[in-house]
Amino acid sequence: MDNYRNNQNMSLGIVGFGAFGQLAAHHLGQHFETTAYDPSPGLATVAKQLGVPLTSLHAVSQTDVILIAAPVSSFEQVVGEIAVACKPGALIVDVASVKVVPSEIMRRLLPPHVDIIATHPLFGPQSAAKGIEGLKIAVCPIQGKQHARLAAFLRKALGLTVIMTTPEDHDQEAAVVQGLTHLIAKVLLKMGPLPTRMTTKSFDLLSNAISMVQHDAPEVFEAIEKANPYAETVRRRFFDLAACLSVELDSASRTPPHNETGH
């Protein structure tokens, strides 16, 4: 998307200035004239540090590119307000962890004169702490023709690995990839404190995976496990298989040892 690259004349409005909105501002601020909206108090200092003026939702909704980083729980209300203020030709992008539900909302509420692309950066502030080059982002074209140009910008300007997909295919894979990761992390954290001294390499990798998700906002876990229409099936299969394995282990422990010496 070469006309997005290093073009300070194009405006970017970030809706939701939490951890991911701030991460987006850090990496996109050099390419766009950026503003942000968030109703939460106490964000003025970090916004000033990032050089991003905080403004109203109406003002943000009139930018050239609108990046929605709001929680899934407030997503429909936010999109409804953007819909009445966005200008023709605007590009509207979301970064939710799930794609089927947000895509349906955007398709239903936003006007036909805007382009809509659903995305999911497959990383967060923890995994992007050393930079985002080489990290993955899923891109789902919903409405309009700007998806190819956006994909080019993400590759060339940000160095991301772009995966073109559909909301349905995304959520089916994410139900396993994210659903199980966050689920296992939640369980292991409840078993803590976990050992840190006498560990194996595989356990260190598992601990590292946990550290990447344990500080995510509660609404991220809620979205991954409840807003993904495929997550419950994956979750139940995981628990069922774990229960079967438990039964097998219990049965084996009750089986008398084989007498190899007597006949």
pLDDT of residue 35: 98
Q: Where is pLDDT greater, at 200 or 1?
A: 200
- The 3-state DSSP class for residue 140 equals strand
> In the block, which residue shows the tokens 């598992």?
206
Using one digit for the tens of pLDDT, what is the confidence trace for 9-38?
A: 799 999 999 999 999 999 999 999 999 999
Topology of the domain comprising 11-165:
Rossmann fold (3.40.50)
pLDDT of residue 224: 93
- Separation of alpha carbons 175 and 98, rounded Å: 9
High-pLDDT (> 90) share of the chain, %: 82
Alpha helices in 35-166 (DSSP H): 44-50, 57-60, 75-83, 100-109, 147-156
Q: Where is pLDDT greater, at 263 or 224?
A: 224
Q: Which of the 8 DSSP states describes residue 19?
A: H
pTM equals 0.87
pLDDT of residue 218: 84
pLDDT of residue 17: 97
pLDDT of residue 236: 96
230-252 residues labelled b (16+ CB within 10 A) or e (exposed)? bbeebbeeeeeeeeeeeeeeeee
Residue 117 pairs with which residues in a beta bridge? 93, 141
Mean pLDDT over residues 240-247, rounded? 96
Please count the residues of the chain. Answer: 263
pLDDT category at 6 given cuts 50, 70, 90 is low
1 has a pLDDT exceeding 50: no
Mean pLDDT over residues 176-189, rounded? 93
> In the block, which residue shows the tokens 């840190």?
196
pLDDT category at 235 given cuts 50, 70, 90 is very high
Tally of CA atoms within 13 A in the half-sphere of 18 that contains its CB: 17
φ, ψ of residue 92 in degrees (nearest 5): -115, 125
Q: Where are the domains of the chain?
A: 11-165, 170-250
Using one digit for the tens of pLDDT, what is the confidence trace for 58-102?
A: 999 999 999 999 988 899 999 999 999 999 999 999 999 999 999
Q: Where is pLDDT greater, at 9 or 182?
A: 182
Mean pLDDT over residues 137-151, rounded? 97
pLDDT of residue 211: 87
Q: Which residues contact 35 (CB under 8 A, 6 or more apart)?
A: 11, 12, 13, 14, 52, 53, 54, 55, 59, 60, 63
Using one digit for the tens of pLDDT, what is the confidence trace for 205-215?
A: 999 888 888 88
246 has a pLDDT exceeding 70: yes
